[in-house]
Amino acid sequence: MHILIIGAAGMVGRKLTDKLVAEGHLGGKAITQLTLADVVAPAAPEGFPGKAETLTVDLSAPETATRLAAGRPDVIYHLAAIVSGEAEADFEKGYRINLDGTRHLFEAIRQEGLRKDAPDQPYKPRVVFTSSIAVFGAPFPDKIGDEFFTAPLTSYGTQKAIGELLLSDYSRRGFFDGIGIRLPTICIRPGKPNKAASGFFSNILREPLVGQEAVLPVSPDVRHWFASPRSAVGFLLHAGTLDLARLGWRRNLNMPGLSATVGEEIESLRRLAGDKAVALIRTEPDETITRIVDGWAQDFDARRALELGFKADATFDDIIRAHVEDELGGRIGG
């Protein structure tokens, strides 16, 4: 099996790569080839016995998608995107990467399947597209189900919503077998803060856990929908093996997660790391971030994903513990 990960240098892409290498198979099929692509150089997978290729490419360039599809990967994980805050700040860049890049990829797969020099070798890969809960916009019901209409209030959410429609149509037409998974906000993201408007949800936990200050730009009563990086990788693995006939033509679905307020996040931090860690959080209201966050969904009814076998974290304590175990060697404190 040949697996292509686009956006492989990102946090989720790296963790997905590591998990695939450790498992050695996907859905019972041995992984013999990995292609890792991103706009910055992905790290070569350590300990992988098969063929591995790392590519530094820009998906917004049409020739990039053609090159990637020519390798005829069996499973394609499309994780590449610029984050919400950056897509809102730079309108043209957001559409070029998040929308044009996605369209180029889907069209390249279609064209590869139509190649006249290989009529006896049909090509119809599995495509896993990471969408976002940002496809939804207020006013919201108490819990958002898969049937709730998409009316995004940001450019990022709009770009992801269009990507979902393209994925559904290209799957309907038989060009590939696609599934779009709407990820909750991934928390706690390791590494340095990024330009995502949602970044503070991780920052107010990650930095205090190692003895550093963090800034909280919104009210503690802000509620949001979360999943850990561990859960995100689990979603991707399951999406890569799920019988997609069970989806019918409703190819995009909400992933399970955990609804919590910022205040509940902080209390979980207090339970696991103490008052000293909580004291490192400094409140500095930011009107721009507050306005963006006010347009985000707070809670979901993910019964469809749960019935299909997707699983997520049970408590915020579990989310913090996963970060401590995976990123801090089981130790709290800087």
Catalytic residue chosen out of the listed positions 77, 95, 123, 156: 156
Residue 156 a catalytic site member? yes
CA distance 216 to 175: 45
Cis peptide before 125, with omega less than 30 degrees from 0?
no
The continuous run of DSSP H or E covering 12 comes out as helix 11-23
Q: What are phi and psi of 250, to 5 degrees?
A: -90, 80
273 burial (CB, 10 Å; 0-12 / 13-18 / 19+) is buried
Rg over alpha carbons for the chain, rounded to the nearest Å, is 20
In order of 264, 265, 295, the CA distances from 288 in angstroms are 23, 22, 11
29-30 and 25-26: which strand pairing?
Answer: antiparallel
Q: Residues with Cβ < 8 Å from 83, sequence gap 6 or more?
A: 156, 194, 195, 196, 197, 199
Compute the distance between CA of residue 92 and CA of residue 60 in angstroms, rounded to an integer.
11
Say whether 177 sits in a helix, a strand or coil. strand
Residues of 97-108 as b/e, b for ≥16 C-beta within 10 angstroms? bbbbbbbbbbbb
- Which residues carry out catalysis? 156
